[in-house]
Amino acid sequence: MRLATWNINSIRARAERAVAFLERSGTDVLALQETKCKDAQFPHEVFEAAGYEVAHFGLSQWNGVAIASRVGIEDVETGFATQPHFGAEPHLEARAIGATCGGVRVWSLYVPHGRALDDPHYPYKLEWLHNLRTQAAGWLEADPAAQVALVGDWNVAPLDTDVWDPAVFAGHTHTSPAERAAFSAFAAAGYNEVTRDFFPEEHKYTYWDYQQLRFPKNQGMRIDYAYLSPALRARATGVEIDRDERKGKGASDHVPVIVDLTD
């Protein structure tokens, strides 16, 4: 199985590009984030014409997550059980969707940004990660052989080498000690961040801001990751970061991260 994750930054603007990626890369299951549409607005027909089923969770023009699969989609779950709510009138945001695809429980995750260290969105982000980690640990406790993939835009740069200039991010979100600890807690719960195993070098970025010529200058961030359960990690044979998808007209500011799994 070839599993990919991609913050698409508006699926309606990039549906054709997403399907072209699927066909070119031979991806079987694609986890999408930041689809930016309601369920009724998702371009299902484009994916179905290419042979993919889609499960989508979107409530507004913000956030939104999806899974596209040509190996089946079963037991779709929108949001995880203890996912926290946010806002003046707290509501569940469309940031997590799970489905079983070809025997693998895939979760497409769009972790909250945090905005600023003194913003209410920051403790919300930490609670979101903590609750997901607790849930994920419980899945392994219930079934140590579970095939689980937690993939998506984590909005955390775990190492200084995951950002183009650590000094620029000092005192801001994504690199704070609390965020990094929340990210690392998934490893302590038994999961393996597989992209680091195959791409340990510096500057393997997955995101470049549209502003200030960040991509031509290679001033990026590595914030898209794949945590796999032990049983699934044993099946991983390689990882690709498709940097070319950041090129050309109409590109997302993120690129796909691809994980290859043996049968």
Binding-site residue numbers are 7, 34, 153, 155, 253-254
CA 254 and chain centroid, separation:
10
Please pick, among 44, 56, 174, 254, the residue that the annotation labels catalytic: 254
Identify whether 209 is a catalytic site residue.
Answer: no
Number of helical (H) and strand (E) elements in the chain, helices listed first: 7, 12
Binding residues for Mg(2+): 7, 34, 153, 155, 253-254
Please pick, among 28, 44, 52, 110, the residue that the annotation labels catalytic: 110
Identify whether 210 is a catalytic site residue.
Answer: no
The DSSP annotation for 206-249 comes to SB--SGGGTTTTT--B--EEEEE-HHHHTTEEEEEE-GGGGSST
End-to-end Cα distance, the chain: 7
5 vs 111: CA distance, rounded Å: 13
The length of the chain, given as a count of residues? 263
Whether residue 65 contacts residue 83, with contact meaning beta carbons closer than 8 Å, is answered with no
Identify whether 153 is a catalytic site residue.
Answer: yes
Q: Which long-range contacts (CB under 8 A, 24 or more apart) does 52-57 make?
A: 52/19, 52/22, 55/97, 55/99, 56/97, 57/94, 57/96, 57/97
Q: List residues with catalytic annotation.
A: 110, 153, 254
